[in-house]
Amino acid sequence: MPKQNRTSDSYADTSGYSAKNSPFNITRIPAFSDNYLWLLDDGESALVVDPGDAQPIIDALEAKNLKLDYILTTHHHPDHIGGVDTLISRYQPEIIGPQSQYIPQVSKTVKDDEQFEIMGLNIQVIEVPGHTLDHIAYFIDSPSADNKPSAFEQPVLFCGDTLFAGGCGRVFEGTFAQMRSSLAKLKQLPANTLIHCAHEYTQANLAFAIAVEPENQQLIDRVAEVKQMRASNEATVPSELALELATNPFLRYDAAAVIAVAEARKKISNLAADEVFGAIREWKDNF
């Protein structure tokens, strides 16, 4: 089974990692009760993804002596943009995000399949509506335009509240069909992509996943590993896409076991993929 990414998480201190021979660091910054804010830096310049709270970002920047040059937003919920105004007033970063009436601070709007380069990072935009209609994700894989080596040993995805470790976001503004289609896009990314989601929901998500697929041995193993990690107060994200494909029921709407349980719950045969996903998501909403 692909391994869970083991990284320390104190909910007070930041923790991060960097690729070998790479100038870039990724720091996971806990906020609120279960959020993760993501800080990328090259030792001097930094960008932050979804700064719902400004103070933990300020603390990390000052501790590392960094200048915040960019903010990337995935969607408009307060726990993802709540710190933007404070960070603008302090650092004057460029704000990059979706076209959204709810995020007026965005100075550079980006759309599906667009690529842009900042800090030498080549970033691809993936529109993933469902949780919200304005939701986007950011994928970093390719070398930068000046043919530098790839920034990280593995591709990285910052997906906000669309794909979680072991789960997916609630469908608040979109439809189940939109959410499934969005997740289908993410399924096509390289299997070794590291999924940087915005919440420590993994243990609760897996409690549902095992109800959907109680005989999935990779999932059984993951449940045990995550239980041990959380007992030791270790973070369970980022996780690899390969692990999600094997154990996350919301990416497994085309798996025979998931189809069977969805059809049993709906008492209907030959469900389409959107209907399978919808049945599982409705179940999770009331789990």
- Residue numbers annotated as active site: 75, 77, 79-80, 131, 161, 199
Structure tokens at 97: 């995000």
